[in-house]
Amino acid sequence: MTFRRGVRVGLDWGDARIGVARCDPDGVLASPYGNVQAGETEVADLLAVLAELEPVEVVVGLPTTLAGTEGPASRKVRERAGRLAAATPVPVRLVDERFTTVEVSRRMREGGRRAKDQRSVIDAAAAAAILEHALSIERSSGRAPGALLLPDGRA
């Protein structure tokens, strides 16, 4: 399989905000797009973003432990992303997101920005890092990244 052409959306699903990123149709550049407030209207708000960006798929970062196992945070993301998968025909995939927020925070500190003051920027930047990771996996393996999520939250 070769690299599939089309815009993809990356999500970093947090308790307060959902960071959103997008890539160009050729998958060359992933960039922060913005944030969606987490809560009661999160799925409807994300559906509006998907309608605007018209992606071929959504890549959601799945938080795992350093050992690669899933904990309470993973279950929460899996359940919330499952609600999105049930509400859209756009395929939703789960991709390991270990270290993305930590890496983005580190880069911001090195660039002279205080991470504490940049939380909303960090969320969208973490979504871009998740999306970059997914694009890299597909380019190197020729396969779609991560696991396709079913509407019931199972991959």
Q: Report the chain's terminal Cα–Cα distance, integer Å.
A: 21
pLDDT of residue 1: 58
Residue at 67 is within a domain? yes
Domains held by the chain: number? 1
Residue at 2 is within a domain? no
The answer to whether 86 and 44 are in contact (CB under 8 A) is no
Both tokens assigned to 50: 């998907």
Residue 11 to residue 125: CA distance in whole angstroms: 10
pLDDT of residue 148: 92
pLDDT band (50, 70, 90) for residue 117:
low
Residue at 138 is within a domain? yes
How many Cβ atoms from other residues are within 10 Å of residue 124's Cβ?
24
Residue at 153 is within a domain? no
Residue at 154 is within a domain? no
Instruction: Lowest mean pLDDT of 25-29, 74-78, 119-123, name the range.
Output: 119-123
Share of the chain above pLDDT 90, in %: 61
Residue 140 to residue 155: CA distance in whole angstroms: 22
- How confident is the model over 138-155, as pLDDT tens digits? 999 989 999 998 877 677
Residue at 17 is within a domain? yes
Residue at 1 is within a domain? no
Both tokens assigned to 89: 């025909």
Residue at 139 is within a domain? yes
Residue 37: domain span? 9-148
CATH of the domain at 75: 3.30.420.140
pLDDT of residue 107: 66
